[in-house]
């Protein structure tokens, strides 16, 4: 619901809010420029003295105005010709033109009415209302995603567009709420919807009838400092019944031109004060610094618009049409999807297609639409559940758990739960686990035990599909291709071979950087931008499902490098390790922002074994700033599979690598990387206590052993890997 409230006003009002924010940001500069340019009155200067100075220079002065920036403007008539100038209060002389700035005027009219009069004002007010709705719904989404308002500034993970969107939003939202609320108030005020008009004080009827009181002798003007002045209007020359009109920050008064007496005074009303404060907050006139800050925040709007559209497009593209979807009442298999961004729907579509082809009748729907009483023909229910944020239900699964928990008993239809998530998150598949636990507690019969899919892995999905097929007694081959990105042809330049002697033939493959199209460069897509730790996907010839490999190089290195071990019978690894220089493969890039060393200067502890050394070696190679890096590397035998063994001494000399600790598993005393960690327990604990970041890359079993070893090492310090994960200081890339 909140998401819809964010998405649709956002897309509809995109153009309006973009114009509003860009023009607003441009306008925010003017009050500050005026403040800097305007000659300021000396402290303690009274209106009487100022008016006297100005009148000495311009005897025909009619009006003196002071803007909130302190700029003083005088208007006069000299021999029938009107004149006006910005006044230097020290001399009373004109120093600059008082004509309105044409650029500012143009921008103001664009900003408030699109040059379209009242219709335009209403359109722009609608834009401001959209901005307010977007800000509030967006703030609710950020809070939900972060797991509560207290975690407003929690570390972000996920694709760049989404992160940028939230990163900008959580800073700019304050300004945008302020700007849009004040804009709505000002529009209401302009259309007379608020009782904030000035109190009308009747023009004084009793005047002395004399003229010619010296300005510097009028007590009220003597008591009013220039800092409070807004406007002083002079009586018409030759009209003895006319009066001085004085407007200050406090109110409006009339002064007798003969004896200088204060004839009438009206204070500003409460409504007027509120409206003026709001005007100041919105325009920055009288609060130039705030204005600049708001202007800067407004600049975030076009960026959020662009990233927001990207997030929406990616989510939409990832959500395919389900062809031949059966009704819930007739389907044998009911497939319910809990998806936040839409990618889980893609898996549902693949499963739906495969089951349908196997002769099943299948219904696909959101988990939020869970209604067991309607599943009259259902023999099984399959839940595909992603997780949102810190373990919350994703958008399309809202209310599922409440409904299940509220029911007397679970439906008598067997259930399989498949969780989708990312192992680098601490709450990996937490929602799916909650659902499975609740189902178990309700005694829901189990078709398959809970299984999980890490980072949309097609391999994981295919494996689970075979298990499902076995349970159903059908042949089920799920070949899911998430969103097949456009591939680029990579040419192998050189290869280095290792590991043949220890029955683990492995190659470091070195590809040339492909040519990048201008469009990709602009969008930062394809191979235009990548870092060590990002993934490249390779679709093997004769295969449909891409395999992912971690990059051991970044764009700046000028080449693409991966470490590939030949798996017995492995299609993709077999083809890759058979490549000779000059051969080509088709590959695409998948950013892996959750596995990056970051720009901090805190020490890095890199832990890897086997081919997991690839991205870690890439981080070391890219460490040109001398950040302390401690690398723990597990191998089988230093004579055979010591990847990058030739480079490490050089990197150490150059200060890219502080320390290398190796563990050798083949030999008289097998030694694994977790053992190496334990051997350095004191130093590792010390480093982590001092803010070091831990990055682990390698097989799943190794990662589990490393986590166990770290838990032991950190226990005396009262830390756990889980805590570090939450802080974003412990990240894994496992396979």
Contact residues for other proteins (CB under 8 A)? 62-63, 75, 77, 80, 82, 84, 99-100, 102, 105, 109, 117-118, 189-192, 197-198, 200, 202-203, 233, 236, 241, 245
The pair of structure tokens assigned to 323 is: 């062809």
The residue (of 50 and 156) whose beta carbon lies closer to other proteins is 50
CB 46, min distance to other proteins, A = 23
3-state secondary structure of 200: coil
CB 203, min distance to other proteins, A = 4
CB 522, min distance to other proteins, A = 39
The pair of structure tokens assigned to 423 is: 């192992």
CB 256, min distance to other proteins, A = 15
Q: How far apart are CA 270 and CA 195, in angstroms?
A: 10
The residue (of 98 and 413) whose beta carbon lies closer to other proteins is 98
Assign residue 443 a region (left: φ > 0; alpha: ψ between -120 and 50; beta: otherwise).
left
CB 121, min distance to other proteins, A = 10
Strands 547-550 and 535-538: antiparallel
The residue (of 77 and 559) whose beta carbon lies closer to other proteins is 77
Q: How far apart are CA 470 and CA 633, in angstroms?
A: 40
The residue (of 60 and 591) whose beta carbon lies closer to other proteins is 60
CB 239, min distance to other proteins, A = 9
DSSP per residue, 307-342:
HHHHHHHHHHHTS---TTPPPTTT-SEEEEEE-SSS
Task: State the burial class of residue 386 (Cβ atoms within 10 Å of its Cβ: 0-12, 13-18, 19+).
Answer: buried
User: Which neighbouring-strand residues pair with 419?
Assistant: 385, 452
Q: How far apart are CA 295 and CA 506, in angstroms?
A: 55
User: Which neighbouring-strand residues pair with 362?
Assistant: 333
DSSP per residue, 384-428:
EE--BTTTBPPGGGTTHHHHHHHSSS--SSEEEEEEEE-TTSTTT
Q: How far apart are CA 514 and CA 124, in angstroms?
A: 47
Task: State the burial class of residue 732 (Cβ atoms within 10 Å of its Cβ: 0-12, 13-18, 19+).
Answer: buried
The residue (of 262 and 512) whose beta carbon lies closer to other proteins is 262
Q: How far apart are CA 247 and CA 223, in angstroms?
A: 13
The pair of structure tokens assigned to 279 is: 């005007």
Q: How far apart are CA 403 and CA 88, in angstroms?
A: 73
Q: How far apart are CA 51 and CA 246, in angstroms?
A: 12
The residue (of 81 and 668) whose beta carbon lies closer to other proteins is 81
The pair of structure tokens assigned to 315 is: 């989510």
The pair of structure tokens assigned to 594 is: 């959750």
CB 228, min distance to other proteins, A = 19
The residue (of 82 and 399) whose beta carbon lies closer to other proteins is 82
CB 11, min distance to other proteins, A = 33
CB 96, min distance to other proteins, A = 15
- Half-sphere exposure of residue 111: CA atoms within 13 angstroms, side-chain side: 22
For 60, other C-beta atoms within 10 Å of its C-beta total 16
Residue corresponding to tokens 């693409």: 560
CB 223, min distance to other proteins, A = 24
Q: How far apart are CA 4 and CA 137, in angstroms?
A: 9
CB 77, min distance to other proteins, A = 7
CB 30, min distance to other proteins, A = 11
Q: How far apart are CA 154 and CA 158, in angstroms?
A: 13
The residue (of 118 and 412) whose beta carbon lies closer to other proteins is 118
- Choose among 367, 422, 376, 427: nearest CA to 397: 367
The residue (of 197 and 219) whose beta carbon lies closer to other proteins is 197
- Choose among 125, 130, 136, 124: nearest CA to 173: 136
The residue (of 231 and 460) whose beta carbon lies closer to other proteins is 231
The residue (of 28 and 339) whose beta carbon lies closer to other proteins is 28
The pair of structure tokens assigned to 444 is: 């829901």
The residue (of 233 and 674) whose beta carbon lies closer to other proteins is 233
Q: How far apart are CA 183 and CA 27, in angstroms?
A: 14
The residue (of 209 and 443) whose beta carbon lies closer to other proteins is 209
CB 293, min distance to other proteins, A = 24
In sequence order, what E strands does 566-669 have?
584-590, 604-609, 629-635, 659-664
The residue (of 67 and 414) whose beta carbon lies closer to other proteins is 67
CB 109, min distance to other proteins, A = 7
CB 84, min distance to other proteins, A = 6
The residue (of 251 and 574) whose beta carbon lies closer to other proteins is 251
Q: Sheet containing 93-96: give its strands across.
A: 93-96, 81-88, 72-78, 61-66, 229-233, 243-248, 251-256, 262-267
C-alpha dihedral, 426 to 158 to 166 to 429, nearest 10° = -40
């Amino acid at each position: 619901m909140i998401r819809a409230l964010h998405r649709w006003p956002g897309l509809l009002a995109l153009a309006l809010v973009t114009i509003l924010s860009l023009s607003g940001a441009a306008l925010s500069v003017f009050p500050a420029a005026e403040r800097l340019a305007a000659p300021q009155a000396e402290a303690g200067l009274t209106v009487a003295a100022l008016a006297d100075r100005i009148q000495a220079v311009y005897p025909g002065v009619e009006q003196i105005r002071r803007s909130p920036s302190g700029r003083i403007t005088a208007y006069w008539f000299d021999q029938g010709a009107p004149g006006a100038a910005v006044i230097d209060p020290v001399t009373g002389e004109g120093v600059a033109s008082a004509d309105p700035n044409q650029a500012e005027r143009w921008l103001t009219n664009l900003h408030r009415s699109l040059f379209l009069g009242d219709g335009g004002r209403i359109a722009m007010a609608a834009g401001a209302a959209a901005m307010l709705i977007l800000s509030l719904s967006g703030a609710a989404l950020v809070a939900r995603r972060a797991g509560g308002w207290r975690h407003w500034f929690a570390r972000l993970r996920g694709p760049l567009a989404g992160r940028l969107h939230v990163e900008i939003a959580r800073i700019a939202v304050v300004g945008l709420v302020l700007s849009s609320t004040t804009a709505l108030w000002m529009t209401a005020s302009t259309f007379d919807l608020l009782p904030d008009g000035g109190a009308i004080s009747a023009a004084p009827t009793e005047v002395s009838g004399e003229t010619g009181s010296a300005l510097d002798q009028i007590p009220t003007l003597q008591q009013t400092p220039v800092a409070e002045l807004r406007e002083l209007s002079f009586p018409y020359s030759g009209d003895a019944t006319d009066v001085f009109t004085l407007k200050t920050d406090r109110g409006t008064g009339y002064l007798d031109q003969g004896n200088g007496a204060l004839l009438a005074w009206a204070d500003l009303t409460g409504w007027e004060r509120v409206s003026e404060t709001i005007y100041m907050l919105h325009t920055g006139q009288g609060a130039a610094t705030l204005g600049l800050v708001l202007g800067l925040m407004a600049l975030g709007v076009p960026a959020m618009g662009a990233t927001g559209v990207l997030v929406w497009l990616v989510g939409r593209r990832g959500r395919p049409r389900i062809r031949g979807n059966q009704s819930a009442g007739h389907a044998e298999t009911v497939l319910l999807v809990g998806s936040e961004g839409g990618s889980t729907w893609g898996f549902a579509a693949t499963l739906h297609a495969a089951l349908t082809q196997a002769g099943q009748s299948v219904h696909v729907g959101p988990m939020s639409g869970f209604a067991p009483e309607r599943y009259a023909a259902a023999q099984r229910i399959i839940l595909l559940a992603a997780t949102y944020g810190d373990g919350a239900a994703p958008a399309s699964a809202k209310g599922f758990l409440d409904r299940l928990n509220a029911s007397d008993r679970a439906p008598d239809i067997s259930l399989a739960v498949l969780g989708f998530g990312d192992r680098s998150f601490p709450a990996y598949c937490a929602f799916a686990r909650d659902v499975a636990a609740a189902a178990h507690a309700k005694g829901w019969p189990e078709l398959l035990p809970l299984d999980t899919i890490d980072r949309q892995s097609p391999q994981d999905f295919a494996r689970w599909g075979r298990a499902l097929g076995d349970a159903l007694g059908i042949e089920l081959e799920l070949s899911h291709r998430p969103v097949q990105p456009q591939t680029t042809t990579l040419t192998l330049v050189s290869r280095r071979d290792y590991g043949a002697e220890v029955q683990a033939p492995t190659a470091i493959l070195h590809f040339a950087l492909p040519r990048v199209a201008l469009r990709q460069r602009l969008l930062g897509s394809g191979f235009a931008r990548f870092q060590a730790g990002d993934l490249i996907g390779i679709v093997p010839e004769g295969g449909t499902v891409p395999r992912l490999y971690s990059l051991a190089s970044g764009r700046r290195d000028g080449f693409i490098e991966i470490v590939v071990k030949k798996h017995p019978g492995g299609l993709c690894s077999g083809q890759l390790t058979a490549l000779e220089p000059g051969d080509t493969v088709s590959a695409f890039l998948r950013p892996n922002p959750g596995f990056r060393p970051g720009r901090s200067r805190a020490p890095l502890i890199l832990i890897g074994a086997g081919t997991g050394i690839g991205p870690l070696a890439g981080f070391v190679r890219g460490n040109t700033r001398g950040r302390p890096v401690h690398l723990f590397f597990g191998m089988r035998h230093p004579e055979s599979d010591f990847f990058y063994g030739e480079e490490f001494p050089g990197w150490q000399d150059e200060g890219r690598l502080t320390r290398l600790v190796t563990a050798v598993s083949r030999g008289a005393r097998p030694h694994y990387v977790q053992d190496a960690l334990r051997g350095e327990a004191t130093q590792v604990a010390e480093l982590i206590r001092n803010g070091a970041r831990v990055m682990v890359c390698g097989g799943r079993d190794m990662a589990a052993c490393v986590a166990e070893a770290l838990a032991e090492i950190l226990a005396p310090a009262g830390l756990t890997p889980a805590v570090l994960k939450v802080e974003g200081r412990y990240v894994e890339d496992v396979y």
